[in-house]
Protein backbone atom coordinates (compact mmCIF):
# COMPACT_ATOMS: atom_id res chain seq x y z
CA UNK A 1 0.00 0.00 0.00
CA UNK A 2 1.04 3.55 -0.75
CA UNK A 3 -1.20 6.12 0.91
CA UNK A 4 -0.94 9.85 1.64
CA UNK A 5 -3.08 10.06 4.76
CA UNK A 6 -3.27 13.91 4.92
CA UNK A 7 -1.35 15.43 7.82
CA UNK A 8 -3.46 17.33 10.31
CA UNK A 9 -1.19 20.37 10.07
CA UNK A 10 -2.02 20.84 6.36
CA UNK A 11 -5.69 20.08 6.74
CA UNK A 12 -6.10 22.73 9.42
CA UNK A 13 -4.06 25.22 7.37
CA UNK A 14 -5.98 24.67 4.15
CA UNK A 15 -9.48 24.07 5.50
CA UNK A 16 -10.88 27.51 4.77
CA UNK A 17 -9.44 27.65 1.24
CA UNK A 18 -9.62 24.06 0.04
CA UNK A 19 -11.70 21.69 2.19
CA UNK A 20 -14.81 23.64 3.14
CA UNK A 21 -17.01 21.06 1.42
CA UNK A 22 -16.13 18.66 4.25
CA UNK A 23 -17.94 19.17 7.60
CA UNK A 24 -15.59 20.61 10.18
CA UNK A 25 -16.03 17.69 12.59
CA UNK A 26 -14.99 15.25 9.87
CA UNK A 27 -11.58 16.85 9.41
CA UNK A 28 -10.64 16.53 13.06
CA UNK A 29 -7.98 13.92 13.72
CA UNK A 30 -10.12 12.25 16.39
CA UNK A 31 -12.73 11.55 13.71
CA UNK A 32 -10.35 10.61 10.91
CA UNK A 33 -8.01 8.31 12.84
CA UNK A 34 -10.49 5.41 13.30
CA UNK A 35 -11.41 5.67 9.61
CA UNK A 36 -7.74 5.55 8.62
CA UNK A 37 -7.05 2.51 10.77
CA UNK A 38 -10.15 0.71 9.53
CA UNK A 39 -9.16 1.35 5.92
CA UNK A 40 -5.49 0.50 6.34
CA UNK A 41 -6.20 -2.77 8.15
CA UNK A 42 -9.09 -3.63 5.85
CA UNK A 43 -6.83 -4.05 2.82
CA UNK A 44 -4.88 -6.76 4.68
CA UNK A 45 -1.52 -5.63 3.31
CA UNK A 46 1.86 -6.91 4.42
CA UNK A 47 3.76 -3.69 3.63
CA UNK A 48 2.41 -0.17 4.19
CA UNK A 49 4.06 3.00 2.90
CA UNK A 50 2.36 6.09 4.31
CA UNK A 51 3.00 9.76 3.62
CA UNK A 52 2.03 12.91 5.56
CA UNK A 53 2.18 11.03 8.84
CA UNK A 54 2.07 13.38 11.80
CA UNK A 55 4.58 12.79 14.57
CA UNK A 56 1.96 12.34 17.29
CA UNK A 57 -0.32 10.28 15.05
CA UNK A 58 2.47 7.79 14.42
CA UNK A 59 3.52 7.60 18.05
CA UNK A 60 0.14 7.60 19.76
CA UNK A 61 -2.18 5.88 17.28
CA UNK A 62 -0.68 4.18 14.22
CA UNK A 63 2.24 2.44 15.90
CA UNK A 64 0.42 0.94 18.91
CA UNK A 65 -2.66 0.03 16.87
CA UNK A 66 -0.75 -1.64 14.04
CA UNK A 67 1.67 -3.39 16.40
CA UNK A 68 -1.35 -5.24 17.75
CA UNK A 69 -1.83 -6.67 14.24
CA UNK A 70 1.72 -8.00 13.84
CA UNK A 71 3.21 -4.87 12.23
CA UNK A 72 6.58 -3.31 12.92
CA UNK A 73 6.68 0.40 12.12
CA UNK A 74 9.45 2.86 11.24
CA UNK A 75 9.04 6.62 10.95
CA UNK A 76 11.13 9.21 9.11
CA UNK A 77 10.39 12.85 9.73
CA UNK A 78 11.03 15.53 7.10
CA UNK A 79 13.83 18.01 7.62
CA UNK A 80 13.39 21.68 8.37
CA UNK A 81 11.53 21.07 11.63
CA UNK A 82 8.38 19.80 9.92
CA UNK A 83 6.42 17.61 12.33
CA UNK A 84 5.31 15.09 9.70
CA UNK A 85 6.97 12.53 7.50
CA UNK A 86 6.73 9.04 6.10
CA UNK A 87 6.16 5.69 7.76
CA UNK A 88 6.78 2.13 6.63
CA UNK A 89 5.08 -0.79 8.36
CA UNK A 90 5.61 -4.48 7.63
CA UNK A 91 4.23 -7.71 9.05
CA UNK A 92 6.81 -9.34 11.30
CA UNK A 93 5.47 -12.80 10.49
CA UNK A 94 6.12 -12.18 6.78
CA UNK A 95 9.36 -10.17 6.74
CA UNK A 96 12.60 -9.86 8.67
CA UNK A 97 14.14 -6.42 9.08
CA UNK A 98 17.67 -6.17 7.65
CA UNK A 99 18.42 -2.46 7.74
CA UNK A 100 17.34 1.14 7.20
CA UNK A 101 18.99 3.63 4.82
CA UNK A 102 17.03 6.89 4.97
CA UNK A 103 18.31 10.11 3.45
CA UNK A 104 17.43 13.79 3.59
CA UNK A 105 17.61 14.55 -0.13
CA UNK A 106 19.26 17.97 0.13
CA UNK A 107 21.96 16.63 2.48
CA UNK A 108 22.61 13.61 0.29
CA UNK A 109 22.93 15.78 -2.82
CA UNK A 110 25.47 18.04 -1.14
CA UNK A 111 27.58 15.40 0.65
CA UNK A 112 27.47 12.12 -1.29
CA UNK A 113 30.35 11.60 -3.71
CA UNK A 114 28.06 9.72 -6.09
CA UNK A 115 25.94 12.85 -6.61
CA UNK A 116 28.67 15.27 -7.67
CA UNK A 117 27.40 15.49 -11.26
CA UNK A 118 23.84 16.16 -10.07
CA UNK A 119 25.07 18.81 -7.64
CA UNK A 120 27.12 20.60 -10.29
CA UNK A 121 24.20 20.69 -12.70
CA UNK A 122 21.67 21.82 -10.08
CA UNK A 123 23.86 24.49 -8.52
CA UNK A 124 25.09 25.89 -11.83
CA UNK A 125 22.14 28.29 -11.55
CA UNK A 126 22.14 30.30 -8.32
CA UNK A 127 18.36 30.79 -8.31
CA UNK A 128 17.77 27.07 -8.84
CA UNK A 129 20.23 26.35 -6.03
CA UNK A 130 18.44 28.61 -3.56
CA UNK A 131 15.02 27.21 -4.50
CA UNK A 132 16.24 23.63 -4.09
CA UNK A 133 17.89 24.30 -0.73
CA UNK A 134 14.55 25.41 0.74
CA UNK A 135 13.14 21.88 0.44
CA UNK A 136 13.60 19.11 2.99
CA UNK A 137 12.06 16.01 1.44
CA UNK A 138 13.35 12.60 2.47
CA UNK A 139 13.58 9.08 1.11
CA UNK A 140 12.81 6.42 3.69
CA UNK A 141 14.36 3.05 2.88
CA UNK A 142 13.90 -0.30 4.62
CA UNK A 143 15.49 -3.56 3.52
CA UNK A 144 13.44 -6.66 4.27
CA UNK A 145 13.84 -10.39 3.81
CA UNK A 146 10.70 -12.51 3.38
CA UNK A 147 10.50 -15.22 6.02
CA UNK A 148 9.30 -17.81 3.50
CA UNK A 149 11.73 -16.87 0.67
CA UNK A 150 15.22 -16.37 2.16
CA UNK A 151 16.72 -16.15 -1.33
CA UNK A 152 15.08 -12.75 -1.84
CA UNK A 153 15.67 -9.32 -0.39
CA UNK A 154 13.29 -6.39 -0.83
CA UNK A 155 14.35 -2.74 -0.77
CA UNK A 156 11.24 -0.74 0.14
CA UNK A 157 11.48 3.02 -0.45
CA UNK A 158 8.95 5.67 0.49
CA UNK A 159 8.92 9.39 -0.35
CA UNK A 160 6.83 12.52 -0.74
CA UNK A 161 8.29 14.90 -3.31
CA UNK A 162 7.87 18.68 -3.39
CA UNK A 163 4.37 19.76 -4.36
CA UNK A 164 4.56 23.20 -6.03
CA UNK A 165 3.11 23.12 -9.58
CA UNK A 166 5.98 24.98 -11.30
CA UNK A 167 8.69 22.99 -9.49
CA UNK A 168 9.04 20.07 -11.89
CA UNK A 169 12.80 20.69 -12.03
CA UNK A 170 13.06 20.37 -8.24
CA UNK A 171 11.06 17.14 -8.23
CA UNK A 172 13.23 15.78 -11.02
CA UNK A 173 16.45 16.36 -9.08
CA UNK A 174 14.83 14.85 -5.97
CA UNK A 175 13.90 11.74 -7.97
CA UNK A 176 17.37 11.50 -9.52
CA UNK A 177 19.07 11.74 -6.11
CA UNK A 178 16.65 9.15 -4.74
CA UNK A 179 17.37 6.68 -7.52
CA UNK A 180 21.14 7.21 -7.20
CA UNK A 181 20.89 6.39 -3.50
CA UNK A 182 18.65 3.36 -4.09
CA UNK A 183 21.14 2.02 -6.64
CA UNK A 184 23.81 2.15 -3.94
CA UNK A 185 21.58 0.37 -1.42
CA UNK A 186 20.74 -2.35 -3.93
CA UNK A 187 24.44 -2.82 -4.64
CA UNK A 188 25.28 -3.17 -0.95
CA UNK A 189 22.85 -6.03 -0.43
CA UNK A 190 23.60 -7.67 -3.75
CA UNK A 191 27.30 -7.78 -2.88
CA UNK A 192 26.61 -9.25 0.55
CA UNK A 193 25.19 -12.37 -1.03
CA UNK A 194 25.58 -12.75 -4.78
CA UNK A 195 22.99 -15.52 -4.83
CA UNK A 196 20.10 -13.42 -3.50
CA UNK A 197 17.65 -11.53 -5.67
CA UNK A 198 17.51 -7.94 -4.44
CA UNK A 199 14.38 -6.17 -5.67
CA UNK A 200 13.08 -2.62 -5.39
CA UNK A 201 9.64 -1.23 -4.63
CA UNK A 202 9.50 2.57 -4.55
CA UNK A 203 6.25 4.05 -3.21
CA UNK A 204 5.09 7.56 -2.59
CA UNK A 205 3.27 10.73 -3.40
CA UNK A 206 5.54 11.93 -6.20
CA UNK A 207 3.32 14.95 -6.99
CA UNK A 208 3.73 14.34 -10.73
CA UNK A 209 1.40 13.34 -13.55
CA UNK A 210 1.95 10.28 -15.78
CA UNK A 211 3.10 12.54 -18.63
CA UNK A 212 5.72 14.28 -16.46
CA UNK A 213 9.47 14.06 -16.85
CA UNK A 214 9.74 12.47 -13.38
CA UNK A 215 7.41 9.65 -14.41
CA UNK A 216 9.34 9.30 -17.66
CA UNK A 217 12.60 9.18 -15.73
CA UNK A 218 11.27 6.50 -13.36
CA UNK A 219 9.83 4.23 -16.05
CA UNK A 220 12.08 4.96 -19.07
CA UNK A 221 15.34 5.17 -17.08
CA UNK A 222 16.37 8.55 -18.45
CA UNK A 223 15.31 12.16 -18.84
CA UNK A 224 15.03 14.33 -21.92
CA UNK A 225 16.30 17.87 -21.72
CA UNK A 226 13.54 19.01 -24.10
CA UNK A 227 10.63 17.61 -22.08
CA UNK A 228 7.64 19.97 -22.01
CA UNK A 229 7.88 20.16 -18.20
CA UNK A 230 10.96 22.32 -18.68
CA UNK A 231 8.72 25.01 -20.15
CA UNK A 232 6.82 25.40 -16.87
CA UNK A 233 9.73 26.20 -14.55
CA UNK A 234 10.61 29.81 -13.66
CA UNK A 235 12.89 31.24 -16.35
CA UNK A 236 15.43 32.47 -13.82
CA UNK A 237 15.87 28.88 -12.56
CA UNK A 238 16.31 27.23 -15.94
CA UNK A 239 19.24 24.84 -16.42
CA UNK A 240 19.81 23.35 -19.89
CA UNK A 241 20.42 19.67 -20.61
CA UNK A 242 18.80 18.22 -17.51
CA UNK A 243 19.71 14.72 -18.66
CA UNK A 244 20.10 11.91 -16.13
CA UNK A 245 19.64 8.14 -16.14
CA UNK A 246 19.41 5.07 -13.91
CA UNK A 247 19.55 1.33 -14.53
CA UNK A 248 16.45 -0.03 -12.77
CA UNK A 249 13.59 -1.44 -14.85
CA UNK A 250 10.55 0.01 -13.11
CA UNK A 251 6.84 0.24 -13.88
CA UNK A 252 3.76 1.58 -12.15
CA UNK A 253 2.15 -1.37 -10.38
CA UNK A 254 -1.33 0.16 -10.42
CA UNK A 255 -1.01 1.40 -13.99
CA UNK A 256 -2.30 4.81 -15.06
CA UNK A 257 -5.41 6.02 -13.25
CA UNK A 258 -7.70 9.02 -13.74
CA UNK A 259 -6.71 10.33 -10.30
CA UNK A 260 -5.31 9.32 -6.93
CA UNK A 261 -6.07 12.70 -5.33
CA UNK A 262 -9.56 14.17 -5.55
CA UNK A 263 -10.42 17.57 -4.13
CA UNK A 264 -12.27 20.49 -5.67
CA UNK A 265 -8.90 21.93 -6.75
CA UNK A 266 -7.05 18.76 -7.72
CA UNK A 267 -8.17 15.61 -9.53
CA UNK A 268 -4.91 14.06 -10.64
CA UNK A 269 -2.80 10.91 -10.40
CA UNK A 270 0.03 11.82 -8.04
CA UNK A 271 0.71 8.57 -6.16
CA UNK A 272 2.62 5.55 -7.44
CA UNK A 273 4.00 2.14 -6.55
CA UNK A 274 7.01 1.64 -8.80
CA UNK A 275 8.23 -1.95 -8.84
CA UNK A 276 11.16 -3.93 -10.21
CA UNK A 277 9.79 -5.67 -13.32
CA UNK A 278 12.85 -7.93 -13.58
CA UNK A 279 12.14 -9.73 -10.30
CA UNK A 280 8.50 -8.95 -9.50
CA UNK A 281 5.14 -9.07 -11.24
CA UNK A 282 1.73 -7.67 -10.42
CA UNK A 283 -0.73 -10.36 -9.40
CA UNK A 284 -3.71 -8.19 -8.46
CA UNK A 285 -4.69 -4.53 -8.16
CA UNK A 286 -7.34 -3.32 -5.76
CA UNK A 287 -9.88 -1.40 -7.89
CA UNK A 288 -10.29 2.31 -7.44
CA UNK A 289 -13.41 3.88 -5.96
CA UNK A 290 -16.40 4.24 -8.25
CA UNK A 291 -16.47 7.83 -9.45
CA UNK A 292 -20.04 8.27 -8.20
CA UNK A 293 -18.89 7.32 -4.70
CA UNK A 294 -16.02 9.80 -4.87
CA UNK A 295 -18.42 12.61 -5.79
CA UNK A 296 -21.10 11.61 -3.30
CA UNK A 297 -19.81 14.13 -0.76
CA UNK A 298 -18.34 16.52 -3.37
CA UNK A 299 -14.71 15.45 -2.94
CA UNK A 300 -12.17 14.05 -0.46
CA UNK A 301 -11.76 14.22 2.48
CA UNK A 302 -15.33 13.56 3.50
CA UNK A 303 -17.37 12.02 6.29
CA UNK A 304 -16.48 8.56 4.93
CA UNK A 305 -13.01 9.14 3.42
CA UNK A 306 -10.33 10.41 5.81
CA UNK A 307 -7.81 11.70 3.25
CA UNK A 308 -7.75 13.75 0.07
CA UNK A 309 -5.76 10.91 -1.53
CA UNK A 310 -6.78 7.38 -2.45
CA UNK A 311 -4.71 4.42 -1.28
CA UNK A 312 -2.83 2.56 -4.00
CA UNK A 313 -2.94 -1.17 -3.26
CA UNK A 314 -1.63 -4.16 -5.16
CA UNK A 315 -0.33 -7.69 -4.73
CA UNK A 316 3.17 -8.33 -6.02
CA UNK A 317 4.79 -11.74 -6.32
CA UNK A 318 8.30 -12.96 -7.03
CA UNK A 319 9.04 -14.09 -10.57
Cα–Cα distance for residue pair 90/228, rounded to 1 Å: 38
For 228, 260, 292, the CA distances from 257, given in Å and listed in that order, are 21, 7, 16
Identify the pLDDT of residue 151. Answer: 86
pLDDT digits (tens, 9 = 90+) for 89-100: 999 999 999 999
pLDDT band at 262 (very low <50, low <70, confident <90, very high): very high
Does residue 85 or residue 17 have the better pLDDT? Answer: 85
* Contact predicate 295/289, CB 8 Å: no
**Mean pLDDT score across all residues of the chain:** 96
Q: Among 255, 313, 302, 273, which Cα is nearest to 6's? A: 302
Looking at residue 163, which CATH number applies to its domain? 3.60.10.10
Q: Is residue 49 predicted with pLDDT exceeding 90?
A: yes
Torsion of CA 90, 31, 257, 291, to 10 degrees: 140
Catalytic residues: 205
- The span from the CA of 198 to the CA of 152, in Å, is 6
Structural domain for 213, as ranges:
2-318
The percentage of residues in the chain with a pLDDT greater than 90, rounded to a whole number, is: 93
Report the pLDDT averaged over residues 131-141: 98
Q: Is residue 1 scored above 80 in pLDDT? A: yes
Task: Tell whether pTM > 0.75.
Answer: yes
Per residue in 9-20, pLDDT tens? 998 787 778 899
Please give the Cα distance from 110 to 126 (Å, whole number): 15
pLDDT value at position 224? Answer: 83
pLDDT exceeds cutoff 80 at 250: yes
Q: Are 253 and 316 in contact (CB under 8 A)?
A: yes
What's the pLDDT band for 43 if we cut at 50, 70, 90?
Answer: very high
pLDDT score recorded for residue 162:
98
Max CA pair span of the chain: 56
Taking residues 102-120, report their average pLDDT. Answer: 98
Q: How many domains does the chain have?
A: 1
* DSSP code, position 25: G
Return the pLDDT at 196.
Answer: 84
Amino acid sequence: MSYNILAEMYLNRDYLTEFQYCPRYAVELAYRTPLLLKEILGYNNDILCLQEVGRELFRDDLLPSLEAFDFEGHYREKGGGTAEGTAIFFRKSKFRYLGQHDILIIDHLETDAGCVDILQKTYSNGNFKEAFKRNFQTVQVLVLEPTDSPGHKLVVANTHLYYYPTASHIRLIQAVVAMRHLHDVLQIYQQQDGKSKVSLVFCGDFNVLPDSMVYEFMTKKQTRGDHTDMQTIPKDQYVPDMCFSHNQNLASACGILPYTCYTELCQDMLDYIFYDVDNLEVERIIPQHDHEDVQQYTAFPSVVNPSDHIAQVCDLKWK
